[in-house]
Each structure stands twice: as structure tokens, then as C-alpha cells.
Amino acid sequence: MQSLQEIIKSHEAEINAFQPATAEQLEVYRIKFLGAKGIVKEIFGEMKNVPVEQKKDAGLALNAFKQLAEGKYEEFKHLAEAGKSSGPAVDITLPGNDLPLGTRHPLRVVENEIVSIFEKLGFSVATGPEIEDDWHNFTSLNMPEHHPARDMQDTFYVSQHPDWVLRTHTSSVQARIMEKGELPVRVICPGRVYRNETISARAHCFFHQCEGLYIDKNVSFADLKQTLYYFVTEMFGADTKVRFRPSYFPFTEPSAEMDISCTVCGGSGCSLCKHTGWVEILGCGMVHPNMLRNFGIDPEVYTGFAFGMGVERITQVKYQVNDLRLYSQNDVRFLKQFQSL
């Protein structure tokens, strides 16, 4: 014990007098006292020779010595840290660098614009689940089991529940709204839908729709046409021409598809309109009486119209996007083109 105290005392004077001026001098000190073969380790190794009855006092003395050596190193540690800085010094008085701003996705931009236009006409927004049951997605929409109209849509079924599907259209949201029985109804239903299709420049296994529904007394096809005329004018401009073509949808009768004059060539013919001068943008029609009856609505008292459009198609026509895959590839070069929107 006396021998340890003499060793500690001899080194304490050296430690107290140590005043390094450089990082190199501090490193020499660290190796000598705190290194793997340093004096602190060497002295602690002598603990095995201390009698049991003296180990407590010896331990206190050794810990005090170790703290003294480490405290001196910490006091001048800034010398070592100063030499590690490899980058330029930061002048905090200078203005900071501008961070690049993100952009809204073009599909979201167009969807918000569609919703905004119909909100001006009194339509409210309605949403529903993306996993639907057969009743809301098919049967209630005048498509009973084995109806040929089901073949128009390649459906993803949930394997554990054969009655559940990934919704193939947002018409299922309209079904849920009609189910509530709160009339009149005037809603716009935006959302993502799914169909089992091969991914290509013109098709995808998921896409986005905006469907509208208006049910009230004395609603006519003329109301439908005037509503869609207003939408086209607001979305594509007052000079855009419109035409309706007879079509078939199981949940509307009569049904029609609406075309607009091509926004690229102005009707003269190009690849977007397949050289016809017209581009189809949506389907529409008067709500089928059977569909009204499915939800306890008397078709002799109430009538209504419905329409549905693909957000990808509207975006394609508005911004001349020629490949549907671009919408979901997260290519920053593509998205940056919409920074000003």
C-alpha cells in the first residue's frame, strides 16, 4: 500500500504541472497515462498484490488517481478536436441555402381541380373503402351474379373472402351513399380503383377515378349535359367542343360517352386523338331504375344522373402525358415539371 501511494504521488506532480500547447503533446500524454500500456493501467495491475484488508483504501486511491489523469486530458481535449475538422468553417452570419421545394403530384393536382369544379355546382365529396363486398361493387349496381357486364372489369378478389374485392370503380361509394336513403343526393367520389390488367403505356392495374351522382325530383338528361358542359369549360377552356355518343353501362339508362375536341391538335388530328380530332374523357347516363329500386328509392318520384372519369385520362389530355406508367414511377424529372402548379 505504501509503495502504491509513493508511485501515485510521484506521478501526481507531473500531471498537475502538465500544460500542453498542441494536439501532439496531448496525444503523448494520453498514451503515457491512459493508453493500453499506460501508467494508470500499470498501477491498477498492482491491485493483485495488495492485501485483502487494504484493497478498499487502495481502490479509492487508484480511482482518485485515474480521475485526476482523465480530468487533465478532458481539460485540454479541445486541442485534439480542433485538428479533426476537415470541412470549411461555417459562418453563421451568412444567409442559409434555399432548400428545394417538393411538388404536388399531377394526378392530385388534377383531382383537386375536378373536385373544386363540381363543388361550385353544389356537389359534396364522398369517399369509401378500397376493399369492397360484392353487393356494393357489383350486385347493387344492376350487375347480379353471372351478369355479362361483370366481364367488362378484370377484378382482384381477396382470396380469404371470395365475396370481397378490390373495388373496380368508385361507383361503390355511390352505392353506399344511396344506401343511407338521404335524398336528394349530389356527390363527387374521387378515389383509387384496381383492375387486373397488364401494365402498359395505356393501362395499369390501379388508377384513379372521379364519379359523380345527382338524384332528386325531375332530374333530366339535359341537366346532365349542362353539368358536363360546365365541367369541360372550366377544365379545358371555353373553346373546347363536346359531343355525346350512345353507349352502354349496366347502372345507367340511357348511357353515353362524352368526347371533347383534342387539346393538342385542336381537332385536326394527331396521335393523342388517333387522328379523329376527338378524345373520350368520361362515361355518363341517367341512373337505371333498377339501381334506384335496389336502395328503396321510387323511380317514379326520383330520377338522377351519374358520370365517371379517369383522372389519368384527364391529366393526359390536359398536360399531354403519353405514358400512364410515368404517374407511378416517382421519376423526379417528370414530377419537377409540375412545380408551378
**Count of CB atoms situated within 10 Å of the CB of 97:** 6
CA dist., res. 43 & res. 226, Å (int): 96
Domain that holds residue 21: 2-82
Task: Please tell me the predicted confidence (pLDDT) of residue 89.
Answer: 65
Both 121 and 70 in a single domain?
A: no
**In 160-241, which ranges are E strands?**
164-166, 185-194, 206-216
**In the chain, which ranges are E strands?**
124-125, 131-133, 164-166, 185-194, 206-216, 242-249, 252-261, 278-287, 303-310
* Residue 94 identity (one-letter amino acid): L
Residue 97 in any domain: the answer is no
Assign residue 295 the CATH number of its domain: 3.30.930.10
Both 119 and 206 in a single domain?
A: yes
Looking at the structure of the chain, the number of domains it has is 2
Both 34 and 151 in a single domain?
A: no
Both 184 and 325 in a single domain?
A: yes
Task: Please tell me the predicted confidence (pLDDT) of residue 157.
Answer: 86
Q: Please report, in tens digits, the pLDDT of each residue of the chain (341 residues total).
A: 777 777 778 888 888 888 888 888 888 888 888 888 888 888 888 777 778 888 788 788 888 888 888 888 888 887 776 655 555 667 778 888 888 777 889 999 999 999 999 999 999 999 999 999 999 999 999 988 887 767 777 888 887 777 899 999 999 999 999 999 899 999 999 999 999 888 888 888 999 999 999 999 999 999 999 999 999 999 999 999 999 999 999 999 999 999 999 887 877 778 778 888 899 999 999 999 999 999 999 999 999 999 999 999 999 888 888 888 999 988 888 888 887 76
CA dist., res. 113 & res. 324, Å (int): 19
Both 75 and 139 in a single domain?
A: no
C-alpha cell at 249: 353501362
Residue 90 in any domain: the answer is no
Residue 333 in any domain: the answer is yes
Both 291 and 185 in a single domain?
A: yes
Within 8 A by CB and 6+ apart from 286, the residues are 219, 221, 224, 252, 253, 254, 303, 304, 305, 306
Both 247 and 147 in a single domain?
A: yes
CA dist., res. 133 & res. 43, Å (int): 78
Residue 98 in any domain: the answer is no
Which one of 82, 98, 114 terminates a domain? 82
Task: Please tell me the predicted confidence (pLDDT) of residue 320.
Answer: 85
Both 272 and 312 in a single domain?
A: yes
Q: Would strands 303-310 and 206-216 be described as parallel, antiparallel, or unpaired?
A: antiparallel
Both 28 and 126 in a single domain?
A: no
Residue 92 in any domain: the answer is no
Both 62 and 111 in a single domain?
A: no
CA dist., res. 128 & res. 136, Å (int): 11
Nearest partner of 172 among 129, 223, 230, judged by Cα: 129
Both 151 and 222 in a single domain?
A: yes
Residue 87 in any domain: the answer is no
Both 186 and 63 in a single domain?
A: no
CA dist., res. 193 & res. 111, Å (int): 14
C-alpha cell at 257: 360517352
Beginning with the edge strand found earlier in the chain, give each strand of the sheet holding 252-261 in spatial order: 124-125, 185-194, 206-216, 303-310, 278-287, 252-261, 242-249
